[in-house]
């Protein structure tokens, strides 16, 4: 993605000629996102007070079928009316991004779970932070419209080294965590806090891959959390991380693909409202990962591969209860690395 400047990204979207529909609560809500929207061509903007069904019917008559819909969290799930059933009734194949400013009202994930929301972008509105493509919202729009996979390097400065580790035994976990914290060079309380966050995140990511991912045919876990084990002959776990001086990005991949895509938002929502199992691997651990990352990415090829990761910024929000974004992506199994890679 670093090869794409904002201009070339916009040109790529123009060539796609895909209509994008953005739904806001009111004029003030739309104004907050003016800078981000300026780079999205072929966009139609609506406000919550307008007749959405009538507008969508008009678009259909004109032959303008939105390929992507952006919905402000000030409309959903905080609005009086849920626009999703209307949108999906008119255009069943649309892709959806829910977007929010970091200072927006608190958000419950339960409605998102019931409506199968896979993409939530949270960013300081009016600022271009987090990726070489500009804002996280712009990056999400580009990726969904071009069917491009998210990459860890999207959130790192161009040329940042990314270290890769193959894991063969649970005994490697502590050494990998130490290697990660050593990547965050420098002194001061903010850097030390980033190292602590990185250590916590790496621990949870590795625990999930080593103990939560391996499952028997019936879905039962093969290993107990914390037990010493070596990887199976056909099993692969990889750990990748990079630090560019302000952003620490990391991801862990396993060759099981045992995490159901629909279960990701279920885990996040149930743990947020306190109804989730306290120690379920992939449940509580995934919730902690989401809370401490600035943006969570989960890419799943069912039965073949799961990749979980994201990034955390040096000057990000230190409140773990603050709303964070997520992307849940399902890949076709034939596109993923085989289980015995």
Confidence at residue 199, expressed as pLDDT on a 0 to 100 scale? 97
Residue range 167-181: average pLDDT? 96
Query: Exposed/middle/buried for 317, CB within 10 Å: 0-12, 13-18, 19+?
Result: middle
- Is the pLDDT assigned to residue 180 strictly greater than 90? yes
Average pLDDT estimate for 313-338: 76
Mean pLDDT for the chain overall? 85
201, 282 Cβ separation under 8 angstroms: no
Please state which CATH class domain 156-335 belongs to.
alpha beta
Query: Are 319 and 294 within 8 A, CB to CB?
Result: no
Identify the residue with better confidence: 128 or 144: 144
Residue 7 has pLDDT above 60, yes or no: no
For residues 132 and 150, what is the distance between their CA atoms, to the nearest angstrom?
12
| C-alpha to C-alpha distances, 207 to 89, 152, 279, nearest whole angstrom | 41, 20, 12
- Burial class from Cβ neighbours inside 10 Å (0-12, 13-18, 19+) for residue 159 reads exposed
Residues in Cβ contact with 156 at an 8 Å cutoff, skipping those fewer than 6 apart: 162, 242, 243, 244, 247, 249, 311
Model confidence band, residue 282 (pLDDT cutoffs 50, 70, 90): low
pTM for this predicted structure: 0.89
Mean pLDDT check: name the lowest of 199-213, 297-311, 312-326: 312-326
Domain covering 6-148, topology = Rossmann fold (3.40.50)
Indicate the range of 79-83, 283-287, 331-335 predicted with least confidence: 331-335
- The CATH 3.40.50.280 domain(s) of the chain lie at 6-148
Could you tell me where in the chain the CATH 3.30.565.10 domains are found?
156-335
Cα R_g (the chain), whole angstroms: 20
pLDDT of residue 335: 47
d(CA 271, CA 274): 5
Torsions phi, psi for 88 (to 5 deg):
-75, -25
Q: Which of 282, 261, 265 is nearest to 273 (CA)?
A: 265
What is the pLDDT at residue 51? 75
């Amino acid at each position: 993605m670093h090869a794409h400047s904002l201009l070339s990204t916009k040109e790529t979207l123009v060539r796609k000629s895909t209509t994008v529909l953005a739904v806001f609560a009111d004029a003030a809500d739309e104004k907050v996102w003016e800078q981000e929207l300026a780079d999205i061509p072929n966009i139609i903007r609506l406000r919550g007070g307008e007749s959405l069904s009538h507008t969508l019917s008009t678009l259909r008559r004109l032959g303008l079928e939105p390929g992507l819909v952006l919905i402000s969290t000030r409309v959903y799930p905080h609005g009086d009316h849920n626009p999703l059933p209307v949108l999906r009734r008119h255009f069943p194949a649309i892709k959806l991004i829910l977007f929010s400013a970091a200072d927006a009202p608190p958000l419950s994930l339960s409605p998102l779970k019931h409506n199968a929301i896979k993409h939530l972008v949270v960013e300081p509105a009016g600022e271009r932070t987090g990726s070489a493509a500009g804002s996280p919202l712009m990056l999400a729009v580009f990726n969904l419209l071009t069917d491009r996979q998210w990459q860890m390097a999207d959130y790192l400065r161009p040329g940042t080294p990314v270290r890769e580790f193959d894991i063969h035994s649970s005994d490697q976990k502590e050494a990998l965590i130490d290697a990660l914290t050593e990547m965050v060079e420098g002194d001061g309380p903010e850097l030390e806090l980033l190292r602590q966050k990185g250590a916590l995140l790496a621990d949870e990511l590795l625990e999930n891959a080593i103990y939560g991912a391996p499952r028997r045919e019936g879905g039962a876990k093969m290993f107990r959390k914390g037990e010493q084990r070596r990887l199976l002959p056909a099993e692969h776990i990889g750990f990748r991380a990079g630090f560019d001086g302000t952003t620490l990005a990391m991801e862990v991949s396993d060759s099981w693909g045992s995490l159901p895509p629909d279960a990701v938002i279920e885990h996040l929502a149930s743990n947020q409202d306190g109804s989730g199992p306290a120690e379920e691997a992939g449940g509580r651990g995934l919730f902690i990962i989401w809370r401490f990352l600035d943006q969570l990415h989960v890419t799943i090829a069912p039965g073949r591969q799961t990749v979980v990761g994201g990034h955390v910024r040096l000057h990000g929000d230190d409140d773990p209860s603050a709303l964070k974004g997520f992307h849940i992506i399902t890949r076709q199994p034939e596109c993923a690395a085989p289980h015995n890679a």
